[in-house]
Amino acid sequence: WKHLKSKAAFMTETVKSGIPSVSLLLMQATGSAVINANILRTLGQDMMAVYAVTVSSMQILKMCVEGIVGVIATIAGVLYGEMDVFGIKKIMKRIIAIVIVVCPALTAFFMAFPGSVAKLYGFSLTELLPVLNTCLRFFSLSFLVYGLNSIMQNYYRTIGQILPATLTTVLELFLIHVPVSITAMHVGGVKSMFFCVF
């Protein structure tokens, strides 16, 4: 009975620790479906192509940021298990400092060379390139906010604070991002959507 009880407790903790990741995936999928449907219906396929390339460019940021904040789950997780508060503070300060350098550097690259990012994704609609360049520049302004939010989500998940980790995801993606994006789209088109992301 004790064995089953400990196993059940372990399974419960495992499920709880996975809630932020699952909620992130659900919010992303639902939010994308709602936004995509609204863009296609309101702005048409050309603007949908601009939106898709701009959003896809987030993968460049994710590769850099996730590589940095991934350390939280390993090193900070071990330090938290040992209750090494000083060690946790030290590693978190280092991670934040790196993100504060990397994200603005990527923003600067997007600001200076949006055309290179467009070419990377094979965007060939020349007449829409100025619109895409503007969207990429606006979008890149949110990179630092994304990086810091990613740190927060990973930290809370690592120390077992499921509610804050989940709430940051829900608030960021669904309760704020989707309504603001759709409102901005109706007011000022696709450019306004990415300006409001910042």
**Of 197 and 144, more confident:** 144
Question: How confident is the model at residue 198, as a pLDDT?
Answer: 47
Which residues are within 8 A (CB) of 50 and not within 5 positions of it... i.e. 6 or more apart?
Answer: 128, 131, 132, 135, 190
Share of the chain above pLDDT 90, in %: 26
Report the candidate in 93, 191, 198, 79 with the shortest Cα–Cα distance to residue 151: 93
Long-range contacts of 179-182 (CB under 8 A, 24+ apart): 181/35, 182/34, 182/35, 182/38
Say which DSSP state 73 is in: I
Amino acid sitting at position 159 = I
Query: Mean of the pLDDT values across residues 31-60?
Result: 89
pTM for this predicted structure: 0.77
CA angle 137, 150, 180 (to 5 degrees): 55
Q: What is the mean pLDDT of the chain?
A: 80
